[in-house]
């Protein structure tokens, strides 16, 4: 007997047939004696369809109204799943985010959960109900509907698991766990039995969309046991854990990539104090997030400055940079929105040298030019041309022998 918060993603509830299948699955857990809160996403494609509708009215809908619209996707699924459960004879009730008091800040489309008052859900659980909750949505203190950012149903599930002290938060999806890289790109990618919070956080922030980054953050902070499992087949899935002594440790755990990148360069700016601020200040003020930054060694009292932004912000960043260039008397501006970031991640990097050189040698061997590099303690990222994404990921996957279990890798290395 345990208490689980289970989350079923868009593909898992993508048709009436699949919703019925989820209802059966949930009911089996209930019949085995478990208490259940079930968080669901909108049916696959629905959130994009709603965004399309909004854009059909105006290219620039108000954030408040967009959240009102987008939250309906999940509201459809909770009602349908609850009907399916009731049809099977189960006691079940559905709730929107607001109804279970998922209180967020007011940052529409990327709201953060501040508090959850779980009393209502607790009462229902005690009365034997399966509680079905809409993912991805909350309400701010003024009662406005908010949404939590794409993939945000993961975060709803983890936050509920933390607030109500569930024994485990289970993320049911269309893959049977976290893989060494996206199995859609590398067919022999391998499922990881465990991955540390730290590594999962890096993977998520570097583009692996299997878990929303905030869900991982939340689970790490509140110590929520988190597991990614398949909706469609029986499997242990992947457990996200703290690093333990004696845990099987690979040098590299995984490869993440991000297609949503663009890069901008300003050439020939004066090499003097305050220039970085004058270039990036307006970008930050426009709420554009900057990822990598490179400043060249100055020559002739001028220097070049390159940075990357989300591809959606490319045009806006470019026009801001054009006015900065005029003010600074810069020589030229270059932009490229056909670039991607590929990253290797692993806590094993801390204690092993030579990983970067293996990465660079592998890419060189494939004739892939590296445009930018950035490193941290447990990751190395490179920016390459978009057309090389698949090739780079596959070559690195092979070079680091990620298709083999880490035990094998250790054996071959020593």
The minimum distance between CB 40 and ligand ASP, in angstroms, equals: 9
Query: Burial code of 378-411, b = ≥16 C-beta within 10 A, e = fewer?
Result: bbbbbbbeeebbeebbbbbbebbbbebebeebee
Among 41, 308, 324, 362, contact with ligand ADP (rule: CB under 6 A): 41
Q: Which of residues 48-77 bind ligand ASP (CB under 6 A)?
A: 73
Cα 267–Cα 272–Cα 273 angle in degrees, nearest 5: 120
175 binds, among Mg ion, ligand ASP, ligand ADP, none (CB under 5 to 8 A by kind): ligand ADP
Of 133, 159, 135, nearest in space to 147 by CA: 135
* DSSP category for residue 63: H
Classified as helix, coil or strand, 279 is helix
Q: Which of 259, 188, 204, 235 is nearest to 401 (CA)?
A: 188
**Burial of 19 per CB tally in 10 Å (0-12, 13-18, 19+):** buried
Residue 136 makes contact with ligand ASP by CB under 6 A: yes
Among 73, 97, 151, 254, binds Mg ion (CB under 5 A): 151
Nearer to ligand ADP, 220 or 268 (CB): 220
Question: Which stretch in 144-152, 188-196, 268-276, 383-391 sits in contact with Mg ion by CB under 5 A?
Answer: 144-152
Query: In terms of Cα–Cα distance, which of 193, 166, 199 is closest to 179?
Result: 193
Binding-site residue total for Mg ion (CB under 5 A)?
Answer: 2
Contact between 151 and ligand ASP by CB under 6 A: the answer reads yes
Query: Is the backbone of residue 268 left (phi > 0), alpha (psi -120 to 50) or beta?
Result: left
* Three-class HEC string of 65-133: HHHHHHHHHHHHHHHHHHHHHHHCCCCEEEECCHHHCEEECCCCCCCCEEEECCHHHHHHHHCCCEEEE
Query: Which x/- pattern, by CB under 6 A, does the window 182-221 give for ligand ADP?
Result: xxx-----------------------xxx-----------
Size of the site for ligand ADP (CB under 6 A): 19
Which span (7-15, 280-288, 298-306, 333-341) binds Mg ion, by CB under 5 A? 7-15
Quote the least distance from Cβ 150 to ligand ADP, whole Å: 8
CB distance 319 to 313 below 8 Å? no
Shortest CB 311 distance to ligand ADP, Å: 18
Which of 36, 42, 162, 347 is close enough to bind ligand ASP by CB under 6 A?
42
Q: Which is nearer to ligand ASP, 73 or 268 (CB)?
A: 73
Which residue, 256 or 264, is less far from ligand ADP as judged by CB?
Answer: 256
Q: Which of 14, 97, 135, 268 touches ligand ASP (CB under 6 A)? A: 135
The nearer residue to ligand ASP, 9 or 348, going by C-beta atoms, is: 9
Nearest distance from C-beta of residue 159 to ligand ASP, angstroms: 13
- Judged by beta carbon distances under 5 to 8 A according to partner kind, the member of ligand ADP, ligand ASP, Mg ion, none in contact with residue 105 is none
Which residue among 175, 280, 330, 342 contacts ligand ADP (CB under 6 A)? 175
Structure tokens at 317: 């960043």
Q: Do residues 369 and 335 lie in contact, with contact meaning Cβ atoms separated by under 8 Å? A: no
Site string for ligand ASP, 260-299 (x = CB under 6 A): ----------------------------------------
What 3-state class would DSSP assign to 227?
A: strand
Q: Name the binder of 11 from Mg ion, ligand ASP, ligand ADP, none, CB < 5-8 A by kind.
A: ligand ADP
CB 297 within 8 A of CB 258: no
From ligand ADP, ligand ASP, Mg ion, none, which one binds at residue 208 (CB under 5 to 8 Å depending on kind)? Answer: ligand ADP
Q: Within 10 Å of residue 374's Cβ, how many Cβ atoms?
A: 16
- Rounded-to-integer distance, Cα 335 and Cα 319, Å: 11
Task: State which residue, 181 or 324, has the beta carbon closest to ligand ADP.
Answer: 181
Q: Decide: helix, strand or coil at residue 152.
A: coil
**Which residues form the interface with ligand ASP (CB under 6 A)?**
9-10, 41-42, 47, 73, 135-136, 150-154
**Which residues form the interface with ligand ADP (CB under 6 A)?**
9-12, 41, 151, 173-175, 178-179, 181-184, 208-210, 254
């Amino acid at each position: 007997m345990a208490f689980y918060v289970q989350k079923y993603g868009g593909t898992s509830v993508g048709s009436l047939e699949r919703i019925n299948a989820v209802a059966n699955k949930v009911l089996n857990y209930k019949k085995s004696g478990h208490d259940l809160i079930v968080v669901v996403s909108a049916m696959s494609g629905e959130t994009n369809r709603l965004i399309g509708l909004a854009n059909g009215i105006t290219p620039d809908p108000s954030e408040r109204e967009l959240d009102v619209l987008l939250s309906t996707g999940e509201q459809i699924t909770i009602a349908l799943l609850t009907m399916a459960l009731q049809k099977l004879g189960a006691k079940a009730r559905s709730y929107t985010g607001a109804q279970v008091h998922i209180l967020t800040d007011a940052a529409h489309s990327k709201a953060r959960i501040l508090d959850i008052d779980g009393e209502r859900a607790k009462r229902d659980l005690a009365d034997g109900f399966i509680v079905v909750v809409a993912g991805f949505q909350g309400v701010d203190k003024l009662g406005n509907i908010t949404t939590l950012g794409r993939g945000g149903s993961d975060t709803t599930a983890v936050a509920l698991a933390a607030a109500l002290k569930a024994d485990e938060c289970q993320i049911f999806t269309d893959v049977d766990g976290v893989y060494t890289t996206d199995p859609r790109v590398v067919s022999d990618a391998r499922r990881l039995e465990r991955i540390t919070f730290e590594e999962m956080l890096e993977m998520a922030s570097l583009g692996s969309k299997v878990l929303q980054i905030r869900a991982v953050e939340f689970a790490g902070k509140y110590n929520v046991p988190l597991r990614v499992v398949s909706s469609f087949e029986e499997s242990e899935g992947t457990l996200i854990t703290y690093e333990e002594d004696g845990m099987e440790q690979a040098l590299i755990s995984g490869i993440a990539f991000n297609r949503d990148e663009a890069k901008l360069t300003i050439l020939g700016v004066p090499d003097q104090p305050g220039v970085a601020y004058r270039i990036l200040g307006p970008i930050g003020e426009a709420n554009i997030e900057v990822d990598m930054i490179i400043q060249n060694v100055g020559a002739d009292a001028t220097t070049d400055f390159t940075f990357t932004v989300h591809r959606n912000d490319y045009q806006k960043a470019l026009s801001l940079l054009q006015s900065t260039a005029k003010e600074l008397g810069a020589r030229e501006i270059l932009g490229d929105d056909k670039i991607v970031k590929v990253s290797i991640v692993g806590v094993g990097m801390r204690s092993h040298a030579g990983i970067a050189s293996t990465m660079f040698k592998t890419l060189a061997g494939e004739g892939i030019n590296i445009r930018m590099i950035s490193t941290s303690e447990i990751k190395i990222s490179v920016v390459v041309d978009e057309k090389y994404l698949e090739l780079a990921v596959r070559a690195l996957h092979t070079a680091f022998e990620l298709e083999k279990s880490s035990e094998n890798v250790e054996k071959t290395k020593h």
